[in-house]
Structures are given as C-alpha cells and as structure tokens.
Amino acid sequence: MKLMNSIQEIQSYVAEEKKVGRTVGFVPTMGYLHEGHLSLIERAKNESDLVVVSIFVNPLQFGPNEDFDRYPRDLDRDKKLAEEAGADVLFVPETQEMYPDESVVTVSVNKRVDALCGETRVGHFDGVATVLTKLFHIVSPDFAYFGLKDAQQVAVVQGLVDDFNFPVKVIGCETKRESDGLAMSSRNVYLTEKERKEAVHLSQSLLKAKKWLLDGDSGETEQKMINYLEEHTSGSVEYCKILSYPELLPPTPDTNKLIVAVAVKFSKARLIDNVILDPILLKQGSEEETCSVH
C-alpha cells in the first residue's frame, strides 16, 4: 500500500493508473477506522482495480461546539487496517494541503438538509459537499463507497454527484453493527460503560418502529420511539423521524422509500442510526431484508 500526502502526487499516480484502463474505487473517511470502514474497502476491492482510501478530518463539517479537536485519530493503526482490508493507496493530506488559503468558493447544499442532522448541524453538509467536491476532483474515482449509517449524507452526496455531473457512481453500503445491534461508529469510544449498554436501544427503537409501522400504527410511531428511548437511555433524544428517502420530506402516498432515523446525544458522543423501508411492503405486512437493523 502506498501512503501519499500531497494532492499532486496522488493526482499524477491515479492519472497514470487510469491511462492503462484501471478503475478506481474510493472510500473517503475521517480515520479511526472500524469494521464498517473496512467493509467499504473490501467491497471496493471486489469491484475496482485500484482502491484509494482517504483519511482527512475535515474542519469544514464541524460546528463551533463539536468535537473536531478531540475526534479520535490513530494513523499507524489506520494504515495497518486499511492495508489488511485491501487498500492500494492511503491519501492522508494535512489541513494546509486541502485548504491552503481561505476558500473563494464553497458548496452550499439546498435540499435534503432541512431535517434530521441538518436541522441542528447547520453548515455541516456544506462542509461535507465542499470536501467531497475537492476529493472527487483529486482522486477521480469511478466508484465512491459510503456507509448507510449516515443515510442523510449518502442522499446529499448523490445529489452533489447528480447536480454537478461527477462521473462517479455513489454506492451506499449496509450499516455494519456490533453483535448487539449497535451501529459501528468512531465515536462509540466516547461512550461510558453505562451509555454503551444503553446505546443498543437505538437499534431496538428502529426494530420497534418497523413493527409499529407493519401494524399500521404510523401516526404515533415517532412519539413512541421518543418515549422508548427516553425510558431506556440517559441520553437526550434529538430526533425520531419518518421521512421519504432520499428526498427527506414528509411521506406522501407516492413515496417509494421511507427512512426511519434516530439521533441521541450522550455525555460525550452523539449517535445516529436508521433503517430504510419499502412502504408498499409495509402495507402488505411483509418483511424484507432492508427492514432489519441486524
């Protein structure tokens, strides 16, 4: 595996690889890799000739009271894990390399950000879209892999690619979970022992929501989820929402996909989780693979 820090170096390397017809799979991360990230790298390895993984803790997507300075970082560990998972190139730029001067142009996201995390993390997805615009130009991937744990991010990235005509296919990959159902996250390390035991109730609330929706109880599902999480966790429930996906708007009779999403703020970690459902199958009382959070 090659380690690269400069934009010029990775652009030149990828250009040479593409000249001989190699396809590029790209996994952008902020590091502190876990099995969820590794599953993205492994899938990219199966579907691409060259796998590029980036590690960059992007300051533009952190608000003033968020955890940029204490976001977990361990490059030696990440290098080992990325190489074992099949990465060919690890791109690890410094902040000065990515943002040498104050930006003249940044990306502003107009849709799919007025709900869920976008409601409270104002400007977060502008930062995500801006850094991915840069990374897509730098890496020139054919495929880009993202975990569906942050399904709102995947929806925003797909909109970015569609609107700006990037020649890259966005691939959303199933959320990887711990044995008890907790969605894997770099921020899980901040949970206290008590909070870690409570955190399983995020995925449990999604299972219960699926059952309530299958039972035709859609009108009260959001409040029932809130009540359940308030009863079973010490965290602050930020939202429990049922929306259309990927539009992230109130569902209508014509909605093709639903997302049931939850966010809970614990003492030092904010956790999110979701499940994507087919409303037609819900009406039929059917089960399908995407309904499961395990």
Q: Are residues 107 and 205 in the same domain?
A: no
| Ligand-binding site membership of 185 (annotated) | yes
Supply the pTM of this predicted model.
0.92
| Ligand-binding site membership of 147 (annotated) | yes
Q: Is the pLDDT of residue 293 over 90?
A: no
**pLDDT value of residue 279:** 80
Q: Is the pLDDT of residue 284 over 80?
A: no
Q: Are residues 205 and 90 in the same domain?
A: no
**pLDDT value of residue 218:** 62
Residue 179 domain-assigned (yes or no): no
State the SS3 of the chain.
CEEECCHHHHHHHHHHHHHCCCCEEEEEECCCCCHHHHHHHHHHHHHCCEEEEEECCCHHHCCCCCCCCCCCCCHHHHHHHHHHHCCCEEECCCHHHHCCCCCCCCCCCCCCCCCCHHHHCCCHHHHHHHHHHHHHHHHCCCEEEEEHHHHHHHHHHHHHHHHHCCCCEEEEECCCECCCCCECCHHHHHCCHHHHHHHHHHHHHHHHHHHHHHCCCHHHHHHHHHHHHHHHCCCEEEEEEEEECCCCCCCCCCCCCEEEEEEEECCCCEEEEEEEECHHHHHCCCCCHHHCCC
| Ligand-binding site membership of 35 (annotated) | yes
The CATH number for 111's domain is: 3.40.50.620
Looking at the structure of the chain, the number of domains it has is 2
**pLDDT value of residue 283:** 65
Confidence of residue 149 (pLDDT cuts 50, 70, 90): very high
Enumerate the active-site residues: 37
Q: What is the mean pLDDT of residues 37-55?
A: 98
Give the domain range for residue 225: 186-288
Listed range (147-161, 173-187, 267-281) with the worst mean pLDDT: 267-281
Q: Are residues 28 and 169 in the same domain?
A: yes
Per-residue pLDDT reduced to its tens digit, 19-39: 999 999 999 999 999 999 999
**pLDDT value of residue 65:** 77
Residue 180 domain-assigned (yes or no): no
Q: Are residues 193 and 169 in the same domain?
A: no
The CATH number for 205's domain is: 3.30.1300.10
Q: Are residues 126 and 241 in the same domain?
A: no
| Ligand-binding site membership of 225 (annotated) | no
